[in-house]
Structure 1
């Protein structure tokens, strides 16, 4: 795989060269590795790619100086927070490293270097710089980098670990402005997974041409025939990370996110031992492998008729047999996986997904050829969509437009007992007098949309029509019921039940939180409404979060259809005038003004590394005063840290039981249908949570995966019964990962699933009163969480998506500097 990390300190970067890059396998005694120039930008500096990098030239570029003349290179040079360079690292799979060191097949080093250069040449093609002249604010591709390349053979744990560093300096040539400028790496970072797949596909093709047999793994491939125990024995660095991950995930009760794993890998990394000679390292490695294992590895080196391994150049020129995965299958998988949740995807993301599906069997050229052959895709501005997605959007817009002015008023003489302000009354009259089949209700957060829906329902009933209120989630329905709309139902139940649709004939369908409805569901609902002669009112706020599935339906209707909307612009939620003005600025899309207003009233604090302690203290203060509190953060990495500190503060002040019980909990992996249908993705121990019954499995049951094969997998029920499952059942369950969550009496838990028989609703927060020996959790208020329901987590700190629709007396928002990329205006607004 290929990873990247920036380096911001020039002196650290210089030390990195002398103590790491230029040292041969981190050995001392003056052993040097060959550091070579790489990139098209080298020639402009009088440097030749492939030639050796001197320490003096490396240090000049670290200081933003021309390596030959010593003159300043880029015009702008910030001494503070300047990124000196970026360390891209291409890592070979462990089997390749073992075959080099123990199998003696040194051709694989050249294959690895060729493959990594192909991937980094692709990375170079999207190198860019910022445009600022004439008031512009954008980027321009330059396609040129200046980098130092070096290959090492060992890992930090001194195991065989073939990898190549590409240290890319923060300078690129802008041919339009005819000068050196700072390198903009956004697209390079965005495409890092694509570069990984390019590297893997080049390696896999080369290995097959050399005669090696490969087997697919969870994230790529391995050389077939190498014992798994041997791979693990020489993966001490990986084991150290996994051990640390196990400790951390045990504390927080859930698997770590990819970002959290990356952070953990950085914080657990040690410098390599610089005090051993090459021979000492070699003997250390040989001491860990038996003669029989050495013989096994050496027997895997492919031989020609002359009983010798073919030369690398000769082997790579040979044709290779057709890959096990076709380009057509890979493209179809990428289509099904990506367009389930996005209506438009970047071309590079599609290429990367298709290549990843092939586990190294397909190169990008094969994917591009298949894309060009297929007529179902529409490519524009390096993005992709499908004709089917466009057709669905156009049908949705057409249905709404065809109903403009085609209906009479619903109830022009509406009367309501619901207390409304002037704006709400105007909106009520607009809806009741509208001649349109579909009307929108556009309301900011806190404007009283629920009260308006109640008054609309009242007005509809006055003319002997039925009011049907729908919401996208069970939690949203529950919230509506608590506010007086007891008959609210989910959109999914309406779409799934023909009898529900028939009972709604002639009704007025009111859809709350319509911004969370996908294009597919919106289109299906509109078709049903047309068939059943229903009127439709769509109530929502496009400035909050949108649908998880593909298509931002409400925004499309607001911007591209003739749908008229009644506006609720007055925020009535915040009691403080100054605080309300800040939230109004966010609602208007002015994040800078919103933040400045929060700062003016002392609601914005810049914290150091102890921020989570401050949040914990604030949360404790709120609950001590009898107030409800909620902390919102954009990433699970932050949430995990904050939760640990909040629980510690609550325990210290006896607001939470002192003794933790480790309770099993399940975390959804959020797989798409395409991922669930690919049986290669499953591994022993994963949990299948069934939300739809099958012939052998009841809704609500959880099964544990035992083994998988090409066409089926075996899973075990709670009673030990084994069941065979195929791709056909993939739409019936969610894939979950099991963990251990520390739970104490008084614990706040956030429910992540539904169990209606016990009154458990996804998105709701509950409090634990007692913990039974069998895992049953008794809740405050009399409900229980039975042992078979395990989809919950701690409820002190959540993402903004989980916070949408929830209310609390005190809300704390935490965004760390390294999480800013995961935050946006919608999240602050929610």
Structure 2
């Protein structure tokens, strides 16, 4: 990703950027390639953004230390030192299970714009005149993306809980150019630090930036930047991008400049030259001390040491660009690339006319939109406009546009057309008045319904999800009679060669065998015995329907192989099955069959041969088809996409077969759109295995379930048993590796799990070095692997690609994930022979396969470790690298012990932006537990979005926002009537917002008294410096504790100064009224557990009307305050600061007490009322 985003705290980050700039104060023309060429450091920062008027600065003004400190550290105007909204001194307090965690305030957001690597290489090797053109192109693209973000994403939220999304006047941003990575590789990039303060377009007040929207827009900004940059490079240099497949497995394809060789890109994309230099230094030190050259094993250890030691901060003493460029040219020459030749091959390649907005046609837009929508729908169940914008850019990646405006028109047209082809999951609820003000309407809709937050899905996804759910509910499928299932389980439990089944396993087997449903799902946590359960299901089904009546499927070839061996049946991976049964494999056979059928051979032998071929094709198709009464076990079903499951369900239903999905939705999810297994589980449509049997220690099973649920109390248990270690990155690498290698040497099966591929490489190289040192690996003759490392006889490697042409001695093909112990030296052709660790069969790996698809196999990632069970596991954890699901997988692989090593420092920060306020290990693990990566189905997301948008909690916040604006307008008018011109002065007071809230309460309670109080305060303010503070103090007693309730929405008089406010408030009232009616009906149905809890405490003599009134009131309270506990009617007690919630709860508790004592409220049933919290701050409450 060429644009990344990171938070900056008020006390760190920008200081580093200022320290790396040039040491003098000589102003430079932006983009001047000669002014910085000979100087140490990078150019001074420059101001950007349309919001600079608010701080009295201009675009391209130099960023001084004083200005940066005022804006980012102090959140104040650099000249007047007046606060820009809320001061940074306040901290955010996060509550985790009762524990408070204080964090420094967020000062801004660092958007780092990095040119693609081929552009950095061209820039590094080019003369100064071409460097200047590249830098200008980069700057122009950065500026255009920032301007795009200002219109699309740099906004603010206001109202209670950020209910309203309103526009901002623009960004206040500081840009800093950097030339190199910390590895001294060329990496032209710009840090654009956007201040966490913007001025609201509605009233000019300073407020926090809406970071949620900015984060969502980052990927779209990244691909938009690429498109703009390549547009400008073609315009200025005639350079063109070309598609490149990923150079490293598991990375995305990319566009790079044609003419820049991949070998150059790789040279300038690694730390290899730094590692080599540090290794040479260690060798020289050894020779100086010992008088001889170190052994090969010692050199290998030196290289591993250098790999870790070079992962430190960038050099604090910047090098002039001229010196850097000279070094880069030398490195290119050493690879055989002359700078002039690279430049000649890259520039002046194209002079084609770029397209403009006038070139757009309706048919092309529709086709491009369909392609973008289909691609997004293939990867996720739900998406937003940002996803469509990003995909539209990818679709148009080869199209060069004349101007930034032209590109925006093309991309917006495609994204908008793609939106029209999607199904909206959260329809717009409000009709915005034509004359609506900017505080009511934004981006063409109400401020409560920002288009960027709208979610979409695809009709095909909805249909596939519904098909699976309908199949689960269809009980007309094959089954075994319940009494026969009982008999089988009785005999199975007595069989000496079978593992005894636990009660939950027996229940699961019985239900699957006898349910009669076409589809069942069995879910269970790690270690719950899912494989044992599947084996019993297979035995029971084959006993009833015969051998071969059970088929196994899994999401990957390796997992299918394991499934087949463990269950003793034929198993295949899902993709292969679908390819052969209904995909291109089946289509090819059908075409060949039709050709043979249409042929007219002349001789008997020709006709016979035709018949034989047709019979063979028909048989092979039959082998890839389900049959009547067959049972299809889909293992690790959470990793199978919704489209794949729907295709399997179609086949099974047509054949009269049954599918049973098995897996754990709390572990890894499908790469493509998925979430079905979790949906079935949450809907109560899955059979659950509840007992955890894997772990040797009794405490670890329950603790793992807490971890699975994201419960932070699990951390306490793991810490108490010594399973959590923390420290800096290098220390944790050492500890994790050291304990893993100890386990290996002690004969334990152990797994070393790293958070990313780079750390996997570091650990693999270290393991290889130690084995060489111990004489267990022969490094004298080695083969080169795809991860850039070498392997010799004695090493363990892992295959990373299925290859059905590469088979072992038994004829079985090599699969992605297969571990192989190399047992021979390499042959003359570069091939090497090894033994599969799963089957013991020998296999010969070709040099091509080794170079493209084999890595050292000592360390792995959490994603690759699912399904593995060992004695011990050692998991490295770094901030932002793992989700809860991945961490749970890593911490449940070992039977005897599972240990996490939490790195409290970033393993490889390219920039030292966070020198202070480092994240603690508890915060890191807390973030991991909170980061759910499992996808939810489109049905679920749609239901949740509609439920949230129409809840009284949300509607109350929206009503309060509108009513507060109306009150502000009314107060402004009242002040103007008393003293014209005074209102504008009073609005600048810090007490204005509190006074509006007090005025709203006072006018609701005693309108005449409120007006008289206001007049008295204005006429006789006393000697106070802040008149608004006086007004607030005098109005508060008048309003008292009056707070409008839910029924107040229906009858409260709203000031009518603005018709758009009145119209919107009426719509909110209508929605609230509908919601209350819905809540009443649901609550009175008596199906919810909390209703039964309430009614059970009331005397039988309680009048029905009083009982119903209480239940209705509690239902309204629960919806207003988001009480999620299904058992506890009123939920947990409110916090001290939740005054209105506490008041509502006290009223309900009093009502419950009256009814329990047999003394109903004499006033009788009324509309349930819950207060709406009116704040003590301005209409722009910050979040």
Aligned-residue offset at 1:114? 4.6
Whether the aligned pair in 1 keeps the contact of 2:668 and 2:885 (CA below 8 Å) is no
**Matching of residues 528-607 of structure 1 within 5 Å:** 528-559=651-682, 564-587=685-708, 589-607=709-727
Whether the aligned pair in 1 keeps the contact of 2:782 and 2:791 (CA below 8 Å) is yes
Which deviations, in whole Å up to 9, do the C-alpha atoms of 1:742-797 show, x marking residues without a partner? Answer: 11333222232345631444323232222332422232745123326433322222
Report the Cα distance in structure 2 between the residues aligned to 1:5 and 1:266, rounded to whole angstroms: 20
Aligned-residue offset at 1:202? 4.0
**Matching of residues 743-758 of structure 1 within 5 Å:** 743-754=791-802, 757-758=807-808
Report the Cα distance in structure 2 between the residues aligned to 1:786 and 1:566, rounded to whole angstroms: 43
Aligned-residue offset at 1:596? 2.3
Equivalent in the alignment of 1:359: 398
Structure 1 stretches lacking a partner, 5+ long: 252-260, 303-314, 667-738
Report the Cα distance in structure 2 between the residues aligned to 1:242 and 1:502, rounded to whole angstroms: 48
Partner secondary structure for residue 605 of structure 1: strand
Match of 2:629 among 483, 503, 506: 506
CA spacing shift, 1:482–1:592, aligned 2, 3 Å: same
Whether the aligned pair in 1 keeps the contact of 2:18 and 2:44 (CA below 8 Å) is no
Are 2:508 and 1:454 equivalent residues in the alignment? no
Equivalent in the alignment of 2:387: 349
CA spacing shift, 1:645–1:175, aligned 2, 3 Å: farther
Report the Cα distance in structure 1 between the residues aligned to 2:201 and 2:4, rounded to whole angstroms: 29
Report the Cα distance in structure 1 between the residues aligned to 2:341 and 2:654, rounded to whole angstroms: 73
Paired positions, count: 711
Are 2:381 and 1:340 equivalent residues in the alignment? no
Report the Cα distance in structure 2 between the residues aligned to 1:482 and 1:296, rounded to whole angstroms: 54
Report the Cα distance in structure 2 between the residues aligned to 1:365 and 1:443, rounded to whole angstroms: 50
Report the Cα distance in structure 1 between the residues aligned to 2:108 and 2:268, rounded to whole angstroms: 26
Match of 2:80 among 69, 93, 96: 69
Report the Cα distance in structure 2 between the residues aligned to 1:462 and 1:239, rounded to whole angstroms: 58
Whether the aligned pair in 2 keeps the contact of 1:431 and 1:439 (CA below 8 Å) is yes
Which deviations, in whole Å up to 9, do the C-alpha atoms of 1:69-90 show, x marking residues without a partner? Answer: 3356543436986665555455
Equivalent in the alignment of 1:633: 754
Whether the aligned pair in 1 keeps the contact of 2:772 and 2:778 (CA below 8 Å) is yes
Equivalent in the alignment of 2:1090: none
Aligned-residue offset at 1:628? 0.5
CA spacing shift, 1:146–1:454, aligned 2, 3 Å: same
Match of 1:435 among 498, 516, 541: 516
Aligned-residue offset at 1:270? 7.9
TM-score computed with the length of structure 1 as normaliser: 0.72
Whether the aligned pair in 2 keeps the contact of 1:327 and 1:367 (CA below 8 Å) is no
Aligned-residue offset at 1:598? 1.0
Which deviations, in whole Å up to 9, do the C-alpha atoms of 1:2-44 show, x marking residues without a partner? Answer: 5666663454344245649976444689999685532344333
Partner secondary structure for residue 821 of structure 2: strand
CA spacing shift, 1:598–1:430, aligned 2, 3 Å: same
CA spacing shift, 1:96–1:248, aligned 2, 3 Å: closer
CA spacing shift, 1:290–1:782, aligned 2, 3 Å: closer
Instruction: Return 82-91 or 120-129, whichever deviates more.
Output: 82-91
Cα root mean square deviation, aligned: 5.1
CA spacing shift, 1:342–1:62, aligned 2, 3 Å: closer
Aligned-residue offset at 1:245? 5.1
CA spacing shift, 1:16–1:71, aligned 2, 3 Å: farther
Aligned-residue offset at 1:592? 1.5
Report the Cα distance in structure 1 between the residues aligned to 2:741 and 2:188, rounded to whole angstroms: 50
Report the Cα distance in structure 1 between the residues aligned to 2:211 and 2:410, rounded to whole angstroms: 27
**Matching of residues 221-232 of structure 1 within 5 Å:** 228=259
Aligned-residue offset at 1:828? 4.8
Are 2:413 and 1:372 equivalent residues in the alignment? no
Are 2:602 and 1:479 equivalent residues in the alignment? no
Whether the aligned pair in 1 keeps the contact of 2:822 and 2:832 (CA below 8 Å) is no
Instruction: Return 759-768 or 288-297, whichever deviates more.
Output: 288-297
Report the Cα distance in structure 1 between the residues aligned to 2:722 and 2:764, rounded to whole angstroms: 24
The structure having more radius of gyration, on CA atoms, is 2
**Matching of residues 181-220 of structure 1 within 5 Å:** 185=211, 187-189=213-215, 191-202=217-228, 213=238, 215-218=240-243, 219=254
Structure holding more helix per residue = 2
Report the Cα distance in structure 2 between the residues aligned to 1:301 and 1:585, rounded to whole angstroms: 59
CA spacing shift, 1:336–1:503, aligned 2, 3 Å: closer
Report the Cα distance in structure 2 between the residues aligned to 1:511 and 1:347, rounded to whole angstroms: 34
Report the Cα distance in structure 2 between the residues aligned to 1:485 and 1:83, rounded to whole angstroms: 57
Whether the aligned pair in 1 keeps the contact of 2:40 and 2:320 (CA below 8 Å) is no
Report the Cα distance in structure 2 between the residues aligned to 1:431 and 1:804, rounded to whole angstroms: 25
Instruction: Return 797-806 or 456-465, whichever deviates more.
Output: 456-465
Which deviations, in whole Å up to 9, do the C-alpha atoms of 1:595-640 show, x marking residues without a partner? Answer: 2221111101012222111111111110121101101223212222
Are 2:471 and 1:399 equivalent residues in the alignment? yes
Whether the aligned pair in 2 keeps the contact of 1:355 and 1:364 (CA below 8 Å) is no
Whether the aligned pair in 2 keeps the contact of 1:200 and 1:360 (CA below 8 Å) is no
Match of 1:792 among 840, 854, 866: 854
Whether the aligned pair in 1 keeps the contact of 2:630 and 2:656 (CA below 8 Å) is yes
Whether the aligned pair in 2 keeps the contact of 1:613 and 1:646 (CA below 8 Å) is no
Aligned-residue offset at 1:806? 0.8
Whether the aligned pair in 1 keeps the contact of 2:199 and 2:206 (CA below 8 Å) is yes
Which deviations, in whole Å up to 9, do the C-alpha atoms of 1:295-318 show, x marking residues without a partner? Answer: 99999999xxxxxxxxxxxx9999
Report the Cα distance in structure 2 between the residues aligned to 1:165 and 1:360, rounded to whole angstroms: 27
**Matching of residues 166-315 of structure 1 within 5 Å:** 166-172=192-198, 185=211, 187-189=213-215, 191-202=217-228, 213=238, 215-218=240-243, 219=254, 228=259, 241-242=268-269, 244=271, 272-273=318-319
Whether the aligned pair in 2 keeps the contact of 1:22 and 1:35 (CA below 8 Å) is no
Structure holding more strand per residue = 1
Report the Cα distance in structure 2 between the residues aligned to 1:413 and 1:746, rounded to whole angstroms: 53
Whether the aligned pair in 2 keeps the contact of 1:544 and 1:829 (CA below 8 Å) is no
Partner secondary structure for residue 551 of structure 2: strand
Match of 2:550 among 460, 465, 468: 468
Instruction: Return 96-105 or 627-636, whichever deviates more.
Output: 96-105
Aligned-residue offset at 1:353? 3.2
Match of 2:146 among 120, 123, 130: 120
CA spacing shift, 1:75–1:440, aligned 2, 3 Å: same
Partner secondary structure for residue 770 of structure 1: coil
Report the Cα distance in structure 1 between the residues aligned to 2:867 and 2:456, rounded to whole angstroms: 33
Aligned-residue offset at 1:662? 3.8
Aligned-residue offset at 1:506? 1.8
Report the Cα distance in structure 1 between the residues aligned to 2:148 and 2:747, rounded to whole angstroms: 58
